[in-house]
Structure 1
């Protein structure tokens, strides 16, 4: 069935600068390695998106509509439909003293953030630093090669897809994430490993908000809750043994002796029965 706006799909894609063939983004680990873009902490493979959900460029969303599972397409994206034309007003001179106040030593190519905008240092001349706040792909014609890996139909898989998209934690095992649906409410208990995420509280809250927003706007639910549970971990029971000796037929006889219990001999003909106590584990 052809893709429509609002559908949940998994896409593979590679983006290139059309004039040079330079790869700037990809979901393929192999392509990332070849292009020198590989990041060890990043998860590669088809990404889950909502078509028309502003997860990718609008030009890509529009081009995907009408495709079917397994289809591929080459999409040309002009600057107007991509990251805009370059704007000379976004190239600014910043006094060196502003960097020194922050304890920074600027250098050409360094990325900086000012008032929520990310820029790249172009040159340093005396006491002034030239910073370009244009997007690094502004003014460039782009080419995306896209493959529709899957059209997601299952409701729970759609929710898990949004978790994978917005909660980009490299060690997250989505199969250990629990989803409970009760009427108009969705309860999410993330994989326990996320309890050790080093992201800031603000970043985690924002990721959860984006997951919730996509669920509200694209699925028939009104409330999303995230469950964080911490259980007391019981210490492993300690056993106090005075002497331990083992007897095996054909070897020197040894005895297992525990204070207050009778002596017991164990031979190879009679296998000992072992009892293992497993402590409770906390659940993150």
Structure 2
């Protein structure tokens, strides 16, 4: 089976800056450690995507069309099709007093958030701070080494793969998800631990929307997705009753 748009697949990849061969992202733990970019909060394993779903750079998703499970491919992506050219208007000078108002001490290399954008402090000089709001990879040509580890064919496994992709909670076991598909409706009951998620409510809602959209956009027989949160009363056992007494 060859990959086409709308297929659910799992891929491993390593991304490098073409000019320097520097690794900036990878799904392999050993490569992350060698490149000194290992993140203890990240799970190093093949990631699920929908081809054409903009889960990776479009140039990468287009390049794996026609591959088969187990295939590997090296993909070069120029800066225009990666993270775009560098925009000098995104390099800003900010008065030091603005940082003092926030109780912050700016340091070269520090990353900050402003109006939803991430910037990196380039210099701190006297009363001014130079901040670059360009993406760190803007203006750089990239090389990705990609391996297709699985083509997902079972409908319930496709749904689970999107939960794994979008629902960022390491305490939730995707395999404990209960899925029932009836008359075009997918009813999803997540692992019990999802009920105790401490993420902001809007983040959880947005994650569920993205899961639902990927499902109804790419699984023809499903046009409605329900997330079911139920709290069942459990009968006390004799041991529990005795403990209360």
Q: TM-score, normalised on structure 2?
A: 0.93
Matched, 1:228 2:229: yes
Q: What CA distance in whole angstroms lies between the structure 1 residues aligned with 2:77 and 2:174?
A: 33
* 2:242 pairs with one of 238, 242, 246: 238
Q: 1:177 to 1:94 in 2, by over 3 A?
A: same
User: In the TM superposition, what is the alpha-carbon distance from 1:198 to its structure 2 partner?
Assistant: 2.5
The separation in 2 between residues aligned to 1:74 and 1:154, in whole angstroms, is 28
Query: How far is the alpha carbon of 1:186 from its aligned partner?
Result: 1.0
Q: Report whether the alignment pairs 1:202 with 2:206.
A: no
- The structure richer in strand per residue is 2
Q: 2:212 corresponds to which residue? A: 212
Structure ID, larger Rg: 1
- Residue deviations 1:33-63 (CA, integer Å, cap 9, x gap): 2222222222221111011100000110111
Task: Name whichever of 153-162 and 103-112 sits farther off.
Answer: 103-112
Matching of residue 137 in structure 1 with residue 141 in structure 2: no
Return the alpha-carbon distance in structure 2 between the equivalents of residues 163 and 218 of structure 1. 14
* Native 8 Å contact 1:5 1:52 kept in 2: yes
Considering fraction of residues, name the structure with more helix.
Answer: 2
Q: C-alpha separation between the residues in 1 aligned to 2:5 and 2:108?
A: 42
The aligned residue for residue 32 of structure 1 is 32
Tell me, in whole angstroms, the C-alpha distance in 2 between the residues paired with 1:89 and 1:125: 19
Change (3 A) 1:50 1:239: closer
Within 1, Cα distance between the matches of 2:4 and 2:94?
A: 47
Preserved CA contact (<8 Å) 1:42 1:170: no
What is the aligned-residue RMSD (CA, Å)? Answer: 1.8
SS state at 1:113 partner: strand
Aligned-pair CA distance for 1:215: 1.0
Distance 2:139 2:211 in 1: 32
**Given the superposition, is the C-alpha separation of residues 50 and 219 from structure 1 closer, same or farther in structure 2, using an over 3 Å criterion?**
same
Deviation at 1:239, TM superposition (A): 6.5
- Aligned match of 2:87: 87
Which residue of structure 2 aligns with residue 128 of structure 1?
128
Inter-partner Cα distance in structure 2 for 1:196 and 1:103: 33
What are the superposed Cα offsets for residues 206-253 of structure 1, whole Å, 9 maximum, x if unpaired? Answer: 11111011112111322211112223454712179xxxxxxxxxxxxx
Measured against aligned partners, the alpha-carbon deviations of 1:117-167 in whole angstroms (never above 9, x if no partner) come to 111111111221111000000111111000010111110011111000001
Pairing 1:75–2:54 present: no
**Change over 3 Å in CA distance of 1:231–1:105 after alignment to 2:** farther
- Gaps of at least 5 residues in structure 2 are none
Alignment CA distance shift 1:140-1:232 (3 Å)? same
